[in-house]
């Protein structure tokens, strides 16, 4: 693993929302859930759709293409069509900033 990487400011992400974050040629999704920030791969494992336009409800992100759902805490599939979960990454906040460990 690398060091903590600055991703964005905490106030860049509305509560119960997410943003797309591109780093080192990969796409990630950073979420602002009611209990803190989370990070997963930013592309659905079903048909390579970006999750940035998805709907976050609690700890579940719904893909905008076929409505597959994932738990953002574990990356596990909550409902099909995806069969493979998302990778998750540690997140910390410090001085109003979000950092991710890739």
Give the residue-averaged pLDDT of 73-81: 97
Q: Give the confidence band of 2 by pLDDT, cuts at 50, 70, 90.
A: low
CA distances from 87 to 24, 49, 70, 76, 94 (A): 16, 15, 11, 9, 23
- Tell me, what's the pLDDT at 49? 93
- Tell me, what's the pLDDT at 87? 98
Which residues, 6+ apart, have CB-to-CB distance to 89 below 8 Å?
Answer: 28, 39, 40, 100, 101, 102
Query: Distance between CA atoms of 61 and 31, rounded to whole angstroms?
Result: 9
Give the residue-averaged pLDDT of 1-13: 91
- Tell me, what's the pLDDT at 24? 95
pLDDT in tens, 14-64: 999 999 999 999 999 999 999 999 999 999 999 989 999 999 999 999 999
């Amino acid at each position: 693993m690398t060091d903590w990487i600055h991703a964005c400011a905490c106030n860049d992400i509305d509560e119960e929302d997410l943003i797309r974050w591109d780093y080192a040629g990969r796409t990630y999704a950073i979420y602002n859930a009611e209990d803190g920030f989370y990070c997963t791969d930013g592309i659905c494992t079903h048909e390579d759709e970006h999750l940035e336009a998805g709907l976050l409800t609690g700890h579940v992100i719904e893909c905008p293409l076929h409505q597959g759902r994932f738990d953002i805490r574990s990356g596990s599939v909550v409902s099909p069509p995806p069969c493979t979960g998302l990778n998750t990454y540690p997140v910390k906040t410090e001085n109003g900033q979000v950092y991710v460990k890739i």
